[in-house]
Amino acid sequence: MSELKAPTILVIDDDAEVRYSLGRVLSSKKYQVMEAGSGEAGVAAVKKGPVPDLIFLDVRMGGMSGLEALQHIRAANPKQLVILMTAFGTAQTAIEAMKYGAFDYIMKPFDPAKVLTLAENALQAHADMRSAGNYKPTINADDYREGIVGASPVMQEVFKVIGQVTASDVTVMITGESGTGKELVARSIWKHSHRAKGNFIAVNCAAIPDNLIESELFGHEKGSFTGATNQRIGKFELCDRGTIFLDEIGDMALATQTKILRVLQQGDIQRVGGTDTIKVDVRIIAATNKDLEAMVKAKTFREDLYYRLNVVRIKMPPLRERRDDIPQIVDFCLQNLVKQKKARVAKVSPEALAVLARYDWPGNVRELENLVYRSAVIAQGDAILVKDIPAEVLASVGSGQFSAQPLSGGSTPPIAAVSVLPAPGSLAAEPASASANSTQVGASAAYTVASALDFLQTELSKDPEPLLERLEREMIIRTLRQLEGNLARTAERLGMTRATLRKRVEELGLQQS
């Protein structure tokens, strides 16, 4: 019988009883367990090879300490996954463990179930790292200096409208949810217009109190109000022959709206407390995440100003409506983080990318950018893995609270019953009864479907010719891993004979001694 090689785990501890008991726990899941009785011996074993898939390392040992051994091991192999063991769960231990790149740490005495869970999670991360090894960026961030990333049909329409309005001074209204990139669109219009040599000033109308916004926009004269100790030039004067971006225009008070209307109609302003009329040549681009039509009906937004601002409208789509842009946005963020030396991670595993594609992104692109930054900072290897994604995102995806829209932008049946892929072996236990067997088969079927969909989502953008072979290879690997290399059960699960499976394993180069 040909079976996949079981993962290898090295236990480094100077206590023979600990090595024995931990070895028994790990061997119960058919992991191959090796031992080392000191930090020095453990480091030597790693350097000599073969490199283990996972290491359990004691913190306090005679001679070289666990933290010292961890640094040597990570220096020899930066991708090596290490779980530290300690009887002293101090803050310093936890901080130093993570600082030096430990995957996690576990307290003594051991809870066997927790040991196995940690091992399964770490080995899943190890598998994700391998799958991220072939990662190829979808874009070059240098080609997107405007900061607007996306090749989806809806974004192509946005780009077309931007190009059409740059040749004139037409007023533009940009609408869309918070975080969709409205200011980036405004800046792009300015950069490509004949006003590019003039100033671009963004004003967040929602962030400035009503009693100060007029002074911010139009300036004020000395002594015009308490605290006005000097004359101040407003944003409109500073933007003469340039472009002003009025963000969150729906939050502007009615009195200020009247003065904005005058600028549009007459092309002049008056400073607060002043009597002189000042001519200004300013292009106005406005943006809002509110329903201005409803506000006009409710008399909270001036109808005449609405029509003056809404000459050309650009609607920015939420990220959930352009999921096929997510890989490109992730690449853009990672490359910029590396360039700015804010993170060293430049890759993302296919499994992690599949999770990001399922999330609904209420904060849109801004939320995705923040998540990539956070995940890249805490990632321990050279790629963002599923384990690096915030728990709230994983929980949302796992509970089925995500859109069924796939990366390609078409439609696909919802998979609400399918959670994030389980760790290897988590569904492998034999059922204790017929009813348990039925439940197990259902869960395994869900696992198989989820695996296929996750794999397809990350592979469809690649060369389509070998897709079926890659999918078959991935499904055989995942099912064999889930069923602990049992060919008979794997063949039954995949709906083929044992002889056919053995032949496909050999043809696909999966057979291992």
Structure token digits, residue 405: 């829209």
Distance CA(411)–CA(417), nearest Å, equals 17
CATH 3.30.70 fits 421-513, yes or no: no
Q: Please provide the distance, in angstroms rounded to a whole number, between the alpha carbons at the two ends of the chain.
A: 10
Q: Alpha helix locations (H) across 418-497? A: 434-459, 467-482, 487-494
Where b means 16+ CB within 10 Å and e means fewer, 104-130 reads bbbebebeeeebbebbbbbbbbbbbbe
The CATH architecture to which 171-310 belongs is 3-Layer(aba) Sandwich (3.40)
Q: pLDDT grade, residue 482 (50/70/90)?
A: confident
Phi and psi of 224, rounded to 5°?
-70, -25
Inform me whether the pLDDT recorded for 486 exceeds 80.
Answer: no
Higher per-residue confidence, 99 vs 408: 99
The CATH architecture to which 8-132 belongs is 3-Layer(aba) Sandwich (3.40)
Give percent of the chain above pLDDT 70. Answer: 84
Q: Which residues pair with 219 in a beta bridge?
A: 233
pLDDT at 374: 95
Distance CA(193)–CA(177), nearest Å, equals 25
Q: Alpha helix locations (H) across 359-466? A: 364-378, 391-398, 434-459
pLDDT tens per residue across span 11-62: 999 999 999 999 999 999 889 999 999 999 999 999 988 889 999 999 989 8
Q: pLDDT grade, residue 364 (50/70/90)?
A: very high
pLDDT at 410: 34
Whether the ω angle into residue 109 lies within 30 degrees of 0, i.e. cis, is yes
CA-to-CA separations, 292 to 161, 213, 248, 314, 390, in angstroms, rounded: 21, 20, 11, 14, 35
The domain limits of the chain are 8-132, 171-310, 320-416, 421-513
Q: pLDDT grade, residue 511 (50/70/90)?
A: low
Q: What angle separates helix 210-218 from helix 254-266, to the nearest 10 degrees?
A: 20
CATH of domain 320-416: 1.10.8.60
Inform me whether the pLDDT recorded for 180 exceeds 90.
Answer: yes
pLDDT at 148: 93
pLDDT at 469: 66
Residue showing tokens 């995440």:
289
pLDDT tens per residue across span 325-352: 999 999 999 999 999 989 888 899 998 9
CATH topology match: 8-132 vs 171-310: yes
Structure token digits, residue 32: 């191959």
pLDDT tens per residue across span 317-327: 999 999 999 99
DSSP code string of 257-297: HHHHHHHHHHSEE--BT----EE---EEEEEESS-HHHHHH
Q: Is the pTM of this model over 0.85?
A: no
Structure token digits, residue 251: 């939050």
